[in-house]
Amino acid sequence: MYKVEDYESKIIEEKKFTALIKPGDRIFLSSGPSIPARAAKIITTSEKLTGYDLEVIQVVSTQDYFTEEASSQRTYRYKTFHSGERGVIETDEGKKDFYPSNLLEIPYIFATRTIDIDVAIITVSPPDRRGFMNLGVAIDTADAVIKNAALVIAEVNPNVPITYGDSLIHVDQVDHVILSDEPLGERERKPYDNLQDRIGWNVSNLIQDGSTIVMHVGRIFDAIAKHLQNKKNLGILTNVVSDWVIDLVEAGTISMERKREQGGLISTSYCYGTKELYDYVDNNPLFGFYPIAVLANPIEIRRISKLISIMNVEKIDITAANVLVFAGDDLLSGYESKFNFAAGTAYSGSGKVIFALKSVDKNGDSNIVISHDQNLDRVRSTLSVARYVVTEYGVASLFGKSIRERALSVIEVAHPDHREELFKQAKEEGYLYPDQIYRSVAANYPAHIETIKTFKDGLELKIRPIRASDEDMMRRLFYKFSDRSKYYRYFTSIRVMPHENMQKYLSVDYENIMSVVAVQQHGNTERIVAEARYAAYPKGDNYEMAFLVDEDFHGRGIATYLAEFLIMIARGKGIKKLSALVLSQNIQMLKVFDKLSVKPIKHYDGDTIELEFDLTEETDQTS
């Protein structure tokens, strides 16, 4: 039975603490915002420990207690599981050292004593009446280290929040206690810019109600969270949460009903942000804190349905095979930590892995490249897990796409100033057809007209402008049509639609030729089920409409909606007249036109009926 006296007897002062440390000791400190700050200060300032040749290990470093100057003066070696360019540079310069490892390996390394720990110093809360102390906002590998260290010292700090999950240790598990009232390490919440806001909007449109999301630390995730606040029944699964999570909870976005094992609530290993965040997670049962090995296990992750993993990277190549990770990435916020979740997500079946980035860097250079030829030490493989690439210019859907389709899709979301050069280089490298038309790639894609529409029987379709990269889906749509449907559409018998013809059909400028498609999505798979367009006559004052609707989707109101959609777009562009040519036997299409808010004037010429729509007429009907 726990007695307060047992706890009090373990409390030691600085003199006893330094006496416990022996020359050559390997010392583990808990990580991130929960670094045992008092112990760190003693180690770096105590005259007694000068020249002790200590080895100090943290999983993640977020604060600068162990500087180059302190290290050289006090002859200790500082090591982390830090990765990224900064870790490589600091190691090359002799400042620090790091263990190249991933999240899942770290607990095993300590559990097997591959890295023996002489002294483990863990930040915890004061004990409750039963003697349990809380690990607070940094769980990481504490359990494995505590069980295997020769000596365990708890730095008890009343500023540590009380959290739920696997976050308890007992006084009996520690040998000594030092007292501290140091504040937890904080991360300033900086505002995101307009480009990140647009990226956040584009990413949010890929996330359905009921999804479980893997997000991390950074301004782009703040932007994404803003645009998720109208979603419902979301869950969070990640190695680290930041202040964006407060916004989601307060907006009522987080699921209170789904169990954690089903991806509900908020499950994490770290919490890194402002004091407001630390106060928010204190005694909040929505948050569960668990060891890294539990959260990042791809075998467990893949069991969660509708899982979405979001990765922010600096640059990506046009096939999404390799990325350039940010300088300074570490296991708290870096690529390696995110990738464990991405791998599990990719193999979960319905999961989505999203790579998000700005289209250009601060110098105006393209962040989308043909191949990486700079900072090669920061280049990482995506191992084909990328399902989407998102920039402020839109979303490139990659799942099930060939190299040509992927390259074209990614170039389409590059910055307009760089698309032509990327297009040219992609041709030279054989990624695109030699006769690939650049017109629609160069055009200013009107993302603002994208929308989601629900039709009869709950059919949800995304309505968006057509892209050059839709060629294969449009070919599949064409070959599904019966000979009669093709005749109704093209007024002649057409049996094949080869690449050279289809790409011309897709070559639109969104001004003289506007085309929109209705896209059905199952998980990561997209299918075009309808297309509608208008194109200017040579004299330019009349625009002819035409429609294609998959025969499996007739009778859902899709053609009527797309016709009204085109009318809305045309009016917005100042177009005064639309027209359509319909064979008299095409009764179904004639009925569609008769339902529209703008009533047509009909002209008969044999078997052909020309319908004219005067868009200058006022109408009180809505589509």
Which backbone phi and psi does 193 adopt, to 5 degrees? -95, 180
Tell me, what amino acid is at 610? E
CA 170 to chain centre: 38
- What residues in the chain have per-residue pLDDT under 70? 62-63, 67-75, 82-96, 328-334, 487-488, 490-493, 538-540, 618-623
| 3-state SS, residue 355 | strand
Instruction: Assess whether 252 and 310 both reside in one domain.
Output: yes
Domain assignment of residue 437, yes or no: no
453-467 burial, b if ≥16 CB within 10 A, otherwise e?
eebeeeeebebbbbb
Q: Can you give the residue range of the structural domain that contains 363?
A: 194-416
Residue 186 lies inside a defined structural domain of this protein: no
pLDDT value of position 603: 93
In this structure, are 141 and 239 located in the same domain? no
Q: Are residues 318 and 457 in the same domain?
A: no
Would you tell me how many other CB atoms lie within 10 Å of the CB of residue 430? 11
Q: What separation in angstroms does the CA of 135 have from each of 10, 106, 169, 302, 478?
A: 18, 18, 7, 28, 60
Helix (H, G, I), strand (E, B) or coil at 576: coil
Please give the pLDDT value at position 67. 67
Here the tokens at position 372 are 């990486």
Adjacency order of strands within the sheet including 525-536: 451-454, 460-465, 513-522, 525-536, 543-549, 577-583, 608-614, 601-605
Rounded to whole angstroms, the Cα distance separating 271 from 139 reads 9
How many degrees, rounded to 5, is the angle at CA 122 between CA 118 and CA 127? Answer: 130
Residues 127 and 225 both lie in one domain: no
Query: Does a structural domain hold residue 423?
Result: no
Residue 301: closest CA among 375, 245, 351: 351
Strands 451-454, 460-465: pairing is antiparallel
Output DSSP code: residue 593.
H
Q: Are residues 610 and 472 in the same domain?
A: yes
Give the domain CATH number at 28. 3.40.1080.10
Residue 605 to residue 353: CA distance in whole angstroms: 54
Pair 214, 351 in one domain: yes
Residues 268 and 383 in one domain: yes
- The enclosing domain of 382 has a CATH number of 3.40.1080.20
Pairing state of beta strands 608-614 and 577-583? antiparallel
CATH code, domain carrying 568: 3.40.630.30
Q: What span, in angstroms and rounded, lies between the C-alpha atoms of 467 and 445?
A: 8
Is residue 471 a part of any domain in this protein? yes
pLDDT on residue 618:
66
Distance CA 252, CA 604 (A): 58
Last residue of a domain, one of 179, 207, 237: 179
Provide the domain count of the chain: 3
Residue 439 in domain: no
Neighbours of 489 (CB within 10 A): 19
Token digits for 274? 């402002």
472 shares a domain with 398: no
User: DSSP letter at 34?
Assistant: G
Would you say 224 and 216 are in contact if contact means Cβ atoms under 8 Å apart?
A: no
Query: Is residue 434 situated within a structural domain?
Result: no
- Residue 573 tokens, joined: 């562009």
- On whether both 262 and 287 belong to a single domain, the answer is yes
Q: What pLDDT does residue 620 have? A: 46
466 and 544 in a common domain: yes
Q: Which of 179, 211, 244 is the last residue of a domain?
A: 179
| Distances 33 to 124, 138, 171, 532 between C-alpha atoms, Å | 12, 7, 22, 54
pLDDT attached to residue 101: 74
**Burial (Cβ within 10 Å: 0-12, 13-18, ≥19) of residue 619:** exposed
| 18 and 64 co-located in one domain | yes
Q: Which residues contact 1 (CB under 8 A, 6 or more apart)?
A: none
Which of 144, 179, 214 terminates a domain? The answer is 179
Does residue 605 belong to any structural domain of this protein?
Answer: yes
Q: Is the pTM of this model over 0.75?
A: yes
Residue 421 within a domain: no
- Looking at the structure, do residues 483 and 410 belong to the same domain, yes or no? no
